[in-house]
Chains A and B, each alone.
Chain A
Amino acid sequence: MSSLLTASTVSGAQGGDAPEDLLPSPRVETARLVGLYVVSVLVALGIIAVLVLIVGDDPWSVFSALYQGSVSTPGAIGRTLDDTVPVILVALGTLIAVRAGMFNIGQTGQLVFGAICAAFIALKVHGPGPLVLVLALLCGVAGGAVWAGLAAWLYAWRRINVVISTLLLTYVATQILDYLVSSQRFLEEPSSSAIGALPQSAIIPPNVDLPHPGAYPDFGVTLGIVIAVAVFAVFAVLLARSRWGMRLRMVGANAVAARRFGVKVAAVAGGALVISGALAGLAGSILLTGEVYRITGGFANTFGNDGLLAALVCRDRPGWLLPVSFVFGMIRTGGNYFLSTGVPDYLAEVLRGLLVLALVFPPVYLERREWARRLKAARVLALRAT
């Protein structure tokens, strides 16, 4: 859509006295966008402050808890980075799928299914730690890819809307997970007491955990962030520079035209969907081996939706992906810290929601204004021409 906005549809068609003077310069537009971002984020924070004031608490305590819990100490930064990893991976996958015009909203399901596969390997395969770890991560990737591939196959076979199938498959995956972790035959923790075990898997063996590179006194971060950033860098280059990236863009912009140019549309679009599932599966297996260490019914813990939202806030600008994901990580670790300071922890949820709306609003608002202006200009020109 943004490419259409910059195309000179109005001025090019008529030439000469196009009302370019009606349109603001790019610099003014950028300033306006930045200003609007600042204002809407401030409004979001203001609403939070009002919510806290209603209860008679000090709004400042919320923001300071958020800061202290997420970035005030090296240890907090490490935890934030660990929480950022799944968000980066899921968001990257979403961005790739959206670029090909495939709207995958079932990342949670793909993350869960990937984590299930990784958990089976980590718990049931006995061997040298690093080997099992790599195998578990690969199986996580494969599991996520299969779950997204199911949606791609349904689309190819019956033209079932990908949005609908990925959404429905998410709940199927969640129930499969619930079944597996409450069944002794599969993943449930072996129970020693008479009451029976909790619906959760055993803790994965420590030698399968993702290693923490280096040894620092109070800063700890798993290899996950390295993997995530590396994967991001590879795909960022591929998206911007490779033939595949170009094809992805063509299919997303106009599938019919892409087909005329000889692009295998189904393969590219389906492939993008599978890649996004694979990345969600990788996120799930890293979450399992690097942060949670056991799989439970609530394993996904809104990481899938966080990644999806982060990607949609970025709006097809991969450069935004790392910082936006980091903000999501900050809100999560800061939110976990809320309870210890007496701030209700659901405020983190409210804050995240308001912040997403605040980040979504400015570009769409300006875009809409721009469209209205161009339509008006086109109408003026059409009248002049007759």
Chain B
Amino acid sequence: MSVGDASIVISGIIAESAPIMFAASGEYMAERAGTLNISITAMMLAGAYSGIAFATAAGNLIVGLVAGVVAGLLVAALHANFSHRLAANTFVVGLTLDALVLGVTDYFGTVFKPGSAKFTPVSVPLLSKIPALGSSLFDQPWPLYLLFVIIPAVWWLVERTTWGLEVRACGENPGAADATGIRVNVRRRQAVYLCGVLSGLGGAFLSLCIVGTFNFNMTAGVGFVVIAAVIFGGWTLRGAVLGALLFGAASAMGLVLPVLGASVNPQLLLALPYLAALLAMMFLAKSHRAPRALAQPFTRGVS
């Protein structure tokens, strides 16, 4: 494999895994707070559609990026208030939002069909000159570089701030957290909002930086790969990011390997994230412990 091939492969992996990474760092926060957020597909799809729609309507890519974030936040607001204010079952809300946003974006995508718009690559001086890695990592549209800020920031927020400690307490033992004066459902809502912001950004990144247009149901399957990445990572941020890279690589391989002349079973590659997550939970049970109150609603007075 020549240097050129390697850089194509790495670019492919980046393109596939960057949206997953944005969303996975959000999903990581939501899950640590105790929400198994399955409306992540909806958040990403909403972000992808409004990103491209507003970018082409306003003729400004940054407007699109912001619109994507707002759309993700909107879906998150619905989810958070239904399941952590009203205590409706989080899966009803999540599955419904997935279907609802799919229908709404199909509808608007037909009626107000967005054109195409795409960020142009910005190369970072010096770093982009590194052979093979450089051009694929540091000659990319600038929103990708946000990841280098967001991932450390999320880590710091969850692991090093009072807010993060409270969020983790809500995910492990909401009753005890409540008894110490933490407002469990408020923290959970906030975590879901942040998840919406990052997933919306991930969706807008997908449509504005990678694809350049809107396709129906363009985030199909991505949302669940995000969840699989967080599970695979054992509910740690570095694990989730690693999972996102690995699963992005797997789906990039599905596109790249046939070009390079290798044959591989496409279904196996697509099933890989889910199998890997299951196997990780089976054989790394000690380090891969789910937050104890994951997916359990909290109502004060009910244990």
Contact = CB atoms under 8 A, between A and B. Distances in A.
A357 B273 CA distance: 31
Contacts of A371: 299-301
Interface stretch (B17-25, B45-53, B92-100, B190-198): B92-100
Nearest to A4: B302
Given A164-B281, A308-B95, A171 B274 contact: yes
A172 B282 contact: no
- How many B residues touch the partner, as a band? 35 or more
Interface stretch (B66-74, B168-176, B223-231): B223-231
Nearest to B273: A171
B103 interface: yes
Contacts of A167: 38, 224, 227
Interface string A276-308: 000000000000000000000000001001001
B163 interface: no
A10 to B, nearest CB: 10
B162 interface: no
B6 interface: no
Interface string B80-103: 001001111101110111011011
Contacts of A158: 281-282, 285
Contacts of B96: 309, 353, 356-357, 360
Contacts of B133: none
A302 B281 contact: no
A161 B231 CA distance: 11
Contacts of A54: 111
A364 B86 CA distance: 6
B99 A305 contact: yes
Interface stretch (A23-31, A117-125, A174-182): A174-182
B58 interface: no
Contacts of B218: none
Interface residues of A, number: 52
Contact of A353 (B86, B103, B111, B301): B103
Nearest to A355: B96
Contact of A164 (B36, B85, B270): B36
A172 B228 CA distance: 12
B156 interface: no
Contact of B87 (A165, A175, A347, A364): A364
A312 B83 CA distance: 13
A364 B88 CA distance: 6
B271 A172 contact: yes
A347 B103 contact: yes
B2 interface: no
A105 B227 CA distance: 14
A313 interface: yes
B106 interface: yes
5 contacts: A158-B281, A172-B274, A348-B103, A352-B103, A360-B92
Interface of B: 36, 38, 82, 85-89, 91-93, 95-97, 99-100, 102-104, 106-107, 110-111, 221, 224, 227-228, 231, 265, 267-268, 270-271, 273-275, 277-278, 281-282, 285, 290, 294-295, 299-302
Given A163-B36, A168-B277, A347-B107, 10 more contacts: A154-B281, A159-B285, A164-B36, A164-B290, A167-B224, A175-B268, A178-B270, A309-B92, A309-B96, A313-B92
Please give me the 4 A-B residue pairs with the lowest Cβ-Cβ distance, nearest first. Answer: A353-B100, A349-B103, A175-B271, A350-B103
